[in-house]
Amino acid sequence: MNADESRVGRSALVGAAFLMATSAIGPGFLTQTAVFTGQLGASFGFAILASIVIDLVAQLAIWRTVVGAGRPAQDVANSVAPGLGTALALLVALGGLAFNIGNVAGAGLGLEALLGLDVRWGAALSAAFAILLFLSREAGRAMDRVAQALGTVMLALMSWVAFASRPPVGDALVRTVLPERIDPLAIVTIVGGTVGGYITFAGAHRLLDSGARGESGVALATRSAMLGIGVASAMRGLLFLAALGVVVGGVSLAGAANPAAAVFEGAAGATGRRLFGLVMWSAAITSVVGSAYTSVSFLRTLRPGLDDARRPMLLAFVALSTAVFLAVGKPVKVLVLAGALNGLILPLGLAAMLVASRRSALSLPRTLEVLAWLVTLAMGAMGCFTLATELPKLFAS
């Protein structure tokens, strides 16, 4: 590899890693972590640890298979069974669109806390930012730089808030391994929000667009996935410690209208609320970009000619998400249904990748393959359970 190729490789590696990591830390994760830490205390660390382990196995298996095949995940899935990739693409796009409405709302809430803007104006301005990003001449490189910059900002701010909240680190470490209470709902929710849906495929598809493929691409995918998982895990751990420190300090998150904001306020007062706004906006806007990019990367191969319309599709995806939010507010029913479907995307996609890897010359290491099948079965069971419990609530309301 010459100097130019090495530079491009490093750029692609870091860009894909941060795209995945920042997509995994969205508005939903901030809220869920605060809520469950308030309920479970230090024992919620076990759910964080479980999500990291599942993340590690799923991401490595999917990234290595997709990049090794040199084709997007939906094409790999179609090679396993005709129509499977199409079904996967439609599920990813549906879940991505529904959750992007929540991401746009989160961006609006972030600017409200940071600048005092009306939530709808904040959402509209944030969507305009994402659209301008996709309209830039080198959209891929711009997207990578924004993800890296805002990911670094989130890491720095969450580190400061975690330090300011003075969490009981020793107790957190013990209860992460030996929890006093295990809540399956917390595990399903966190795993689904940080590994499910489009998130698992975001980095792999970004590497493909950067030209990574084949045996050398697999090595790059492995390093990129490990970096992304490391960044995402650090963000998860820091937010958990910040919330734990606030809870132990006597702040109740149970009745808070915005539990995540209460964590930052509890740690740093009025300044903390503005910091929360910046973190929330950073988490939301990177998730808007990641959701749009990955969803369109699935849709563009469904019909000939769609690949040439990638940019208009990206703009339409962001515009539609924003229009729905501005018209009807947060669409709770759609988000609930999408959340239930989201739990099925990971096991479906992961199973397809595992079967495809068996037929490839670049097969997965045996240990990784076995662990990935265990994750597939566990997530499939939890996804079906979530779907079965949420659908009756949806139609009963």
pLDDT digits (tens, 9 = 90+) for 36-74: 888 889 999 998 998 899 889 999 999 999 999 989 999
Q: Which amino acid is at 340?
A: A
Nearest CA to 203 among 261, 144, 254, 145?
A: 144
**For residue 169, what are its two tokens?**
């680190």
pLDDT score, position 271: 86
E-state strands within the chain: none
pTM tops 0.75, yes or no: yes
- In the chain, the percentage of residues whose pLDDT exceeds 70 is 90
CA distance 89 to 75: 9
CA distance 164 to 356: 48
CB 185 within 8 A of CB 260: no
Q: Which amino acid is at 209?
A: D
Neighbouring CB atoms inside 10 A of 4's CB total 8
**For residue 161, what are its two tokens?**
């808030």
Q: If pLDDT is split at 50, 70 and 90, which confidence band does 374 have?
A: very high
**For residue 379, what are its two tokens?**
């997530």
Provide the CATH number for the domain formed by 3-396 in this structure.
Answer: 1.20.1740.10
Any idea of the CA torsion for 13, 151, 156, 100, to the nearest 10 degrees? -150
